[in-house]
Structure 1
Amino acid sequence: MAKVATVITDLFEDIEFTSPRDVLIEVGHEVITIGPEAGHTAKGKQGEAEVTIDKSIDDVKSADYDALFIPGGFSPDKLRKDDRIVDFVREFAFARKPIFTICHGPQLLVNADILRGKDITSVKQVAIDVKNAGANFYDEEVVIDPSGIISSRTPEDIDAFNKAIVEALA
């Protein structure tokens, strides 16, 4: 089964992390949380979820993972100022490994400069950012780019997103 690297920090959108994580684990995949500091307890912006970061970005290599998951909320915006995280994300794109992102998650893809010519969706307020980064934006519940990027808009689309990421790893 797949090892899924999840980049996350404080103010992630609770259900956009917990629901995909739970579904991935349920079907047998391993989900590893990665952030600036191992052991940090990241809190969801709704106050409904907390997650202890498994590994520091300094202690991981993209080659050790099969896919990357970027939950939404304010977490991606906070993480994109960290060049180590941005480089980690970029490595998944260059290796053409699956990248799963929802809501504000594409902000990290914008900073990694990997969206030119890619098909993607996001929450409405990030749409202009992905368009300016050269992506083809679609206002749909799930968009699957041939490169392996699977994107979704909001918690309302979570079931379709979960189905798409499970199928991608099957």
Structure 2
Amino acid sequence: MAVKKILMLVGDYVEDYEVMVPFQMLLMVGHDVHAVCPGKKSGEQVRTAIHDFEGDQTYSEKPGHNFTLNANFDDVDPAAYDALVVPGGRAPEYIRLNPRVIEIVKHFGAAKKPIAAICHGPQLLAAAGVVSGCSLMAYPAVQPEIELAGGTYVGPNETFTSATVSGNLVTSPAWPAHPEWIRKFLELLGTKIEP
């Protein structure tokens, strides 16, 4: 298997499962993953939030773990990476205000490199203008942003376990979709896992 170098863009109150699980899973299969946050360096941490679906009109939010960054945001050269991962939670809504973050995402979109985004992650993709003509899944509250940016919103199945691929984008509505979302991302990366 060819090792891929993958960039993960995070921020405080990124969704806990949506940063921890893909980060660990991509490392487990042998890829090199750099998790970065604007304004922070390798070894520093971001706080996470656990979003759960408990029958309310929207998800509930509880304190999660601290997640340790393993690379410096200021050192990121997007041309050096093969793919991008954008976890959800509250981080995408405010890191998209950082012009360097938008520039990084635009690089991956223009180069048609694989991008995996989950939950509120497509907010960042919409802000960077890389969703036009694509079909995306996201947390339902992100539908207006996807559509205003020229994308087509694809609603989740009842259990939020679905994911979709559209060109170089792999998206899903929330962490219950991890098996499908990560499997489809690995396929897009060309990663083969032998039984």
Q: TM-score range by the shorter chain?
A: over 0.9
| Structure 2 residue 30 is the aligned partner of structure 1 residue 28 | yes
CA shift at 1:32, angstroms?
0.5
- Does 2:41 align with 1:38? yes
Question: Whose Rg is larger?
Answer: 2
Equivalent residue number for residue 75 of structure 1: 91
Amino acid at match of 2:116: F
Could you say which structure has the higher helix fraction? 1
Q: State whether residues 20 and 67 of structure 2, in contact with CA within 8 Å, keep that contact through their aligned partners in structure 1.
A: no
Partner-residue secondary structure (3-state), 1:156:
helix
Name the structure 2 match of 1:156: 176
Asked whether the 8 Å contact 1:43–1:51 carries over to 2, the reply is: yes
Q: Paired residue for 1:145?
A: 166
Do the aligned residues in 2 keep the contact of 1:120 with 1:143 (CA within 8 Å)?
yes
RMSD over aligned Cα atoms: 1.2
Number of matched residues?
169
Stretches of structure 1 lacking an aligned partner (at least 5 in a row): none
Deviation of 1:56 (Å): 3.2
Structure 2 gap segments, 5+ residues each: 51-62, 157-161
Whether 1:14 aligns to 2:16 is: yes
1:86 aligns with 2:102: yes
In 1, Cα distance between the equivalents of 2:49 and 2:122?
Answer: 18
What is the TM-score normalised by the length of structure 1? 0.94
What displacement does 1:150 show? Answer: 0.4
Q: Does 1:115 align with 2:116?
A: no
Tell me how far apart the structure 2 counterparts of residues 80 and 135 of structure 1 sit (CA, whole Å): 17
